[in-house]
Amino acid sequence: MLVFSELLDRLIYTRSRNGKLTLIVQYLQLAPDPDRGWVLAALSGELEFPTVKISAVRKMVAERVDEQLYKLSRDFVGDTAETVALIWPEQDIASDTKPPTVDEVVSILMATSRAKAPSILAELMDRLDSNGRFALLKFATGAMRIGVSARLAKTAFAKAFDMEVEDVEEVWHALKPPYRELFDWAEGKSDKPDLSGIPFFRPFMLAHPLEERTVDLKDYAAEWKWDGIRIQLSHANGETRLYSRGGDDITAAFPEVATGFDRDGVVDGELLVRGEFQGGEAASFNALQQRLGRKKVSAKMMAEYPAFVRLYDILFEQEIDLREQSWMDRRNSLETFVPKLNDQFFDISTLLEAKDFDDLAQIRKGARSAAIEGVMLKRKDSPYIAGRKTGLWYKWKRDPLVADCVMMYAQRGSGKRSSFYSDYTFGCWTDDGELYPVGKAYSGFTDEELKMLDRFVRQNTIDRFGPVREVEKTLVFEVAFDSIHESKRHKSGLAMRFPRISRIRTDKPAEEADHVATLKAMVT
Amino acid sequence: MSSNSHWIEPHPHGIFVKPAKAWIDPMRPVENALVTHGHADHARGGHENVWATPETLAIMNLRYGIDLGNPVPFGSGIEMGGVKISYHSAGHVLGSAQILMEYQGEKVVATGDYKRRHDPTCAPFEVLQCDIFITEATFGLPVFRHPPTSEEIAKLLEVKKGNPDRCVLVGAYALGKAQRVIGEFREAGYNDPIYLHGALEKMCNLYSELGVQLGDIRPVLETPKEDMRGQIVLAPPSALNDRWSRRLPDPVTAMASGWMRVRQRARQRNVELPIIMSDHADWDELTQTIAEVAPSETWVTHGREDALVRWCGLNQMKAKALSMIGREEEDD
């Protein structure tokens, strides 16, 4: 537990992704089995002790600490686990008491009942120092909140053993903590784990931005790029799993889709919501967002935001791996596969018929549907390859929308940018001549421009609200964004998708920036 | 506010010693001020007469340019309006004092700020028996337990060793903390140059003049960036993430403060390396001190009074909270 608590502490104070990655890599290389497997599970959010809840922690502390002293401390610290770890009265630890290992903690917590959890946990607390107690409580209650995603944990694993993260992801979901088979395979002690008969995640094939290239449509097929979320459906032995881009299991958020997919195989597509205002057509990303990030979903949500999947590739049909086949052959298989599925939840992404590239450019320009984000180009003879390989798939996004906005507030960035005001809130004019914030951006400018913007903020600050500075409303940004939606959360009633600073318009007076009404007209 | 001692009156902006017509650490200009130590939330400018230790007067002189004041060295006494007043070491920063007052057979101690553990840059805290003990409570919550200082210094030196291409930038308040951090490094056997932000230089020089040895300290300003790799730099907390720090080679940002015990506090400050080191008593020191002094009544001021008053209650000791304003801004 000591090594783990040190890792946890360092992760908390390390801001950069690479820094976190290095710390986890070192831990995975050096820590013993099965401790490192349990920790990997905790970091990737896959460890759960059903009988140990935060209420057990509260009960436990009530036995040892005066209630009022605890409450005053909790109010100040703001986090239950940290308060309890710090306030825990230290025992004179006998010299022969050893701090528990991670594995010991796991077996003790797995075996406990709800009723016994507080006293079992207290015994463990007595064997640890304050950092150890903090780590124990975070580990036991599963709420780590240390800025490490499941994807980062997997990437660290791959890096620690010199593997490709796609290979790790492929077997990941079929294995259970502490992933003994995974470590054995990674260290060359055994073969790749056998996964037949279980639904699991296969890494996605990804696309490059087309940018200034053109392609010959003899070699490439074109289809719409849908503005939903990329998902994979995997079905085997009567069980379906839904995976997001990062390989996270999101089955629980879309149970109706999972149940609707009842054939053995693995398919790739876009998860969308059917919009009632579009005559049953796919709705904007905004509508889909209502259903994302939920652990459970109500019948009402399912009825109001009916989800479906627009399929565009097939990786497995029954047990047969189609990934080595050409896109063309897979497309043929997909076209016979989709009609066998429930059409309430599944349809096929149709191909775009274009004479040539210029014609396609015209079609792309004419796209009006809220659910279209651009055009995809897929090489007809290409196999399905995990990751992003040049020349096979391209995404050709719709030209971004732009608006001229005025900088209103600025905040410092983090990491290397912590001394720079690099996050900007900008606004547009109302008809009454007031500026309403319409978005926030922290990218799109060069390092030189950042220095200039930082100087501007410092020299034009008119007020401070904690870390936020309000500036003189004189600097105009041209802001580019993929789309804009109605939002109740903002005063302007608008929310931009992927806003970034495309140009700094020092030449433009603030009064000539755009109006909120102009932006409202762009809403999809 | 009712109290046993009719002659001591707590007010939001200071404690009034009635027969002496003098205020302890007043926040607004008064005729007679008894000042415990040089931090800005205790020592203000603008008083007509100031009584303080010679070191505190020197610090006030440096900060406010007041060359007035009546020096009261540790242990020596004065008498004002029938009140016997003496100054005794509080162990907080150089010159910091507790003020002991005796009137009509009743003894009152006002601690100002204090700590109990060793500090190479100031005299240790003295336990004074008294009837009424007026204690600070900056870290008056049981979550605050400062670890041994040597462990925190070792942590800093280890990080410095592990990052020869970077420098370790330690945020420390200009009066007291900065000099103590340097002193602790020296006690740990670290004798290399320590680099200073300009805002820390004057106070460090004053400490040296007053006989506190700080070793080889140099201004950052005159040092080329390349030479700062692998070095230790001290700066006031406000400079940690400011433009000033861009002149340093990829600094590891550390902060020496008692608040660093709480992770979220450290993260808010953008700190990579929290160093838990305080010039205030932690919870254990506060409760230990009240138990040792064993007054008939404890008054708790600036900080988290409620928890300490509660602790006194749980231990059958009489206590009350004073609500004073404007404290604990600078000197954690």
- Give the distance from residue B264's alpha carbon to the nearest chain A alpha carbon, in angstroms: 8
Q: Are residues A13 and B267, on separate chains, in Cβ contact within 8 Å?
A: yes
Q: Are residues B171 and B122 in the same domain?
A: no
Q: Are strands B168-171 and B232-235 parallel, antiparallel or unpaired?
A: parallel
Q: Are residues B270 and A418, on separate chains, in Cβ contact within 8 Å?
A: yes
Q: Which residues lie across from B300 on neighbouring strands?
A: B135, B321
The answer to whether B316 faces chain A, any CB pair under 8 Å, is: no
The lowest-confidence range among A172-181, A361-370, A464-473, B221-230 is A361-370
Q: Are residues B176 and B291 in the same domain?
A: no
Q: Are residues B117 and B161 in the same domain?
A: no
| Residue at B328 is within a domain | no
pLDDT of A279 > 50? The answer is: yes
Q: What is the mean pLDDT of residues A492-496?
A: 90
Contacts 24+ apart (CB under 8 A), A451-456: A451/A420, A452/A504, A453/A410, A453/A421, A453/A422, A453/A424, A453/A504, A454/A420, A454/A421, A454/A422, A456/A407
Nearest C-alpha neighbor of B200 from the set B228, B216, B220: B220
Q: Are residues B202 and B187 in the same domain?
A: yes
Reduced 3-state DSSP string for A398-440: CCCEEEEEEEEEEEECCHHHCCCEEEEEEEEECCCCCEEEEEE
pLDDT of A289 > 80? The answer is: no
Q: What is the pLDDT of residue B3?
A: 46
DSSP B34: E
- Cβ count near A380 (within 10 Å): 14
Q: Are residues B77 and B138 in the same domain?
A: yes
Q: What is the pLDDT of residue B4?
A: 56
| Residue at B327 is within a domain | no
Residues belonging to chain B: 332
The answer to whether A79 faces chain B, any CB pair under 8 Å, is: yes
How far is the C-alpha of B173 from the C-alpha of B203, rounded, in Å?
Answer: 10
Q: How far is CA A134 from the centre of its chain?
A: 26
Count structural domains, chain B: 2
Residues whose CB falls within 8 Å of the CB of residue A336, separated by 6 or more in sequence, listed in order: none
Please tell me whether the overall predicted TM-score, pTM, comes out greater than 0.80 for this model: no
Q: Which residue has the higher pLDDT, A368 or B319?
A: B319
Q: What is the pLDDT of residue B318?
A: 95
Q: Which residue has the higher pLDDT, A370 or A520?
A: A520
The answer to whether A69 faces chain B, any CB pair under 8 Å, is: yes
| Residue at B119 is within a domain | yes
Q: What is the mean pLDDT of residues B8-22?
A: 93
Closest in B262, B273, B310 to A77, CB measured: B262
pLDDT of B331 > 60? The answer is: no
Q: What is the pLDDT of residue B325?
A: 60
Q: What integer best gives the mean pLDDT of chain A?
A: 90
Residues whose CB falls within 8 Å of the CB of residue A357, separated by 6 or more in sequence, listed in order: A214, A215, A216, A217
| Residue at B286 is within a domain | yes
Q: Are residues B232 and B288 in the same domain?
A: no
pLDDT of A415 > 70? The answer is: no
Q: What is the pLDDT of residue A278?
A: 45
How far is the C-alpha of A6 from the C-alpha of B49, rounded, in Å?
Answer: 53
Structure confidence at residue B329 as a pLDDT band (50, 70, 90): very low
Measure the N-to-C terminal CA separation of chain B; round to a whole number of Å.
Answer: 28
Domains belonging to chain A, first-starting first, are: 205-397 (3.30.470.30), 401-520 (2.40.50.140)
CB burial of residue B93 (10 Å; 0-12, 13-18, 19+): buried
Q: What is the pLDDT of residue B330?
A: 41
B52 phi and psi angles, rounded to 5 deg:
-160, 170
A225 classed as catalytic: yes
| Residue at B330 is within a domain | no
Q: What is the CATH number of the domain that holds B184?
A: 3.40.50
Q: How far is CA A175 from the centre of its chain?
A: 21
Q: Which residue has the higher pLDDT, B132 or A45?
A: B132
Q: What is the pLDDT of residue B328?
A: 46
How far is the C-alpha of A452 from the C-alpha of A447, rounded, in Å?
Answer: 9
SS3 A270: strand
Q: What is the mean pLDDT of residues A141-153?
A: 83
Quick: pLDDT tens for B101-113.
Answer: 999 999 999 999 9
Reduced 3-state DSSP string for B105-139: CEEEEECCCCCCCCCCCCCCCCCCCCCEEEEEECC
Residues belonging to chain A: 524
Quick: pLDDT tens for B167-190.
Answer: 999 999 999 999 999 999 999 999
Q: What is the pLDDT of residue A118?
A: 96
pLDDT of B2 > 60? The answer is: no
pLDDT of A38 > 60? The answer is: yes
Chain B from 252 to 311: CB within 8 A of any A CB: 261-264, 266-267, 270-274, 304, 306-307, 310-311
Helices (H), B24-148: 54-64
How far is the C-alpha of A183 from the C-alpha of A161, rounded, in Å?
Answer: 9
Closest in B243, B246, B310 to A68, CB measured: B310
A101 phi and psi angles, rounded to 5 deg:
-80, 165
DSSP B260: G
Q: Are residues B303 and B187 in the same domain?
A: no
Q: What is the mean pLDDT of residues B12-41?
A: 94
Q: Are residues B94 and B47 in the same domain?
A: yes
| Residue at B214 is within a domain | yes
Q: Are residues B176 and B111 in the same domain?
A: no
Q: What is the mean pLDDT of residues A450-472?
A: 88
Structure confidence at residue A200 as a pLDDT band (50, 70, 90): confident
- Give the distance from residue A421's alpha carbon to the nearest chain B alpha carbon, in angstroms: 10
Q: B240 to chain A: nearest residue by CA?
A: A419
| Residue at B127 is within a domain | yes
Q: Which residue has the higher pLDDT, B139 or B328?
A: B139
Q: Are residues B291 and B250 in the same domain?
A: no
Q: Which residues lie across from A412 on neighbouring strands?
A: A421
The boundaries of the domain holding residue B213 are: 149-275
Best of B138, B139, B143 to mutate (most A CBs within 10 Å, chain A): B143
Nearest C-alpha neighbor of A128 from the set A101, A155, A152: A101
Structure confidence at residue A399 as a pLDDT band (50, 70, 90): confident
Closest in B242, B262, B304 to A419, CB measured: B242
Whole-Å CA distances, A404 to A474, A503, B57, B161, B270? 12, 9, 58, 50, 33
Give the whole-number percent of chain A exceeding pLDDT 90.
Answer: 65
Q: What is the pLDDT of residue A6?
A: 94
Q: Are residues B160 and B188 in the same domain?
A: yes
DSSP A351: B
pLDDT of A86 > 50? The answer is: yes
Q: What is the pLDDT of residue A131?
A: 94
Q: Are residues B135 and B154 in the same domain?
A: no
The lowest-confidence range among A321-325, A368-372, B81-85 is A368-372
Nearest C-alpha neighbor of B228 from the set B166, B320, B159, B135: B166
| Residue at B42 is within a domain | yes
Which chain A residues are within 8 Å of B307, Cβ to Cβ? 68-69, 72-73
